Amino acid sequence: MWRVTCLIGACVCLWIGFSLFERGTDFNQFYSAAKLAGTGHLYDWGRLQELELRNGAHPIPFGRLPVYAVLLKPLTALSYNQARVAWLLVNLAALIGFAVLWPVRRRQDAITMVCWSVPAAILLSTGQDTGLFLFLVTVGLRLLQSKRDFLAGLVFSLCAAKFHLALGIPIFLLARRRWGALAGGLAGGLIQLAISFAAEGRGWPARLLQLSSISDFSPSPWKMPNLAGITHWLPYGGGLEAGLAVLLLAAVWIISRRSALTVGATVAVLAGLMVSHHAYVYDALLLLPACALVLRLPGPKELRFAALLLSVPVPYVLLIEDNASWVVAQVAINGFGLALIGLLAYHSLKKSGRIGAGLEALV
């Protein structure tokens, strides 16, 4: 029966993703940037627009490190349509890899959640890569579990492709005192920086900062599924966002120090999304590990209901709407994240209680 449920969910979500979004919009950005990699014009907005307009109507600024465009260079040997299909298959494989490898007690939970995930369908439609980010975290976590820390750190360092979503990972590793993983992450980061400077010269950081500051880089910030989105319309929103971000990252430290390895990784991923300052509906894919955990958590029924709600299409459809319904989705997403991380931090400090004991039995 659950296979039928998964099939229905996948059909519904793919219909939503491929009918409501311009197909390949973000991949067009990556493909065009890969063509410019190594030319010194990677962050030349005029050149990027010229290339992107050949394959789509809405150019998007490229906001990644140069090494990312270099790694995507082989795709430019294919035609745009061929490369688009190849990229879709890579990201589909990454989603399957997460569902198969993420440590959960019931594998069916993760598989069902991916099939019913509108963020997953939208990232496949637009050509985004949050699925790859989540897969890399999954592989890194598995390597940590098998005590191959340096290799785990090298894998985690690849998350720098979306570094704004990865802020919780180094805190998680520091709190766990996984020095080998931190060394691997540092080595991987230095290698990526070396490739970036070799490809684009010494001036690329300033050009990247300048390009990422234009309005086209962060359209509709109120639709972001994070603290930036929900505080955008509030008085002193920037200060409130910063304060909550500090508290969340401090909670990641506390939870990672005193909870099971998978629990720490889960809150690191969740907190990374919430404090990211730049995220859109496809990045809400990073809610899945937390939802999978909460559905088996012996805690408040309201929290499990919220996890179930965030595992179906409704809040994400509301988030992408142009009317004020996105407020409901923002409250659901941020309320869930703050409640879960706050609850886990409280029980980590208490080192007791039904939830703490239940967590150790789950992972």
10-residue mean pLDDT series, the chain (363 residues): 79 81 80 93 92 88 93 95 95 96 84 91 93 97 96 96 94 96 97 95 91 80 89 86 95 92 95 93 95 82 90 90 81 94 87 51 45
Query: Could you tell me the residue range of the domain that residue 273 belongs to?
Result: 2-362
- Contact in structure between 169 and 137 (CB atoms under 8 Å): yes
Please name which of 167, 100, 116, 172 lies closest in space to residue 307, comparing C-alpha atoms: 116
Question: Looking at the 3D structure of the chain, how many domains does it have?
Answer: 1
Question: Scanning the structure block, which residue is given the tokens 């890194």?
Answer: 140
Taking CA 318 as the corner, what is the angle to CA 313 and CA 321, rounded to the nearest 5 degrees? 125
- CA 248 from chain centre, in angstroms, equals 16
pLDDT in tens, 334-363: 999 999 999 999 888 876 544 544 554 444
pLDDT in tens, 104-135: 877 888 888 898 999 999 999 999 999 999 99
Distance CA 169, CA 350 (A): 24
The type of residue at 331 is V
Please name which of 189, 197, 200 lies closest in space to residue 159, comparing C-alpha atoms: 189
Distance CA 118, CA 321 (A): 14
Question: Environment class of residue 219 by beta-carbon count within 10 Å: exposed (0-12), middle (13-18) or buried (19+)?
Answer: exposed
Distance CA 332, CA 313 (A): 13
Question: Scanning the structure block, which residue is given the tokens 């142009």?
Answer: 322
Would you state the structure tokens that stand for residue 13, as one six-digit string? 């979500």
Confidence at residue 348, expressed as pLDDT on a 0 to 100 scale: 83
Confidence at residue 21, expressed as pLDDT on a 0 to 100 scale: 66
Please name which of 20, 80, 28, 22 lies closest in space to residue 59, comparing C-alpha atoms: 28
Length of the chain measured in residues: 363
- Confidence (pTM): 0.93
Distance CA 104, CA 5 (A): 19
Taking CA 281 as the corner, what is the angle to CA 46 and CA 72, rounded to the nearest 5 degrees? 45
SS3 sequence of 268-310: HHHHHHHCCCCCCHHHHHHHHHHHHHHCCCCCCHHHHHHHHHC
Would you state the structure tokens that stand for residue 105, as one six-digit string? 């007690």
Confidence at residue 16, expressed as pLDDT on a 0 to 100 scale: 83
Confidence at residue 358, expressed as pLDDT on a 0 to 100 scale: 52
Would you state the structure tokens that stand for residue 312, as one six-digit string? 């179906």
Question: Residue 21 has what DSSP assignment?
Answer: S
Distance CA 200, CA 70 (A): 10
Please name which of 341, 315, 289, 246 lies closest in space to residue 13, comparing C-alpha atoms: 315
Please name which of 221, 293, 236, 235 lies closest in space to residue 262, comparing C-alpha atoms: 293
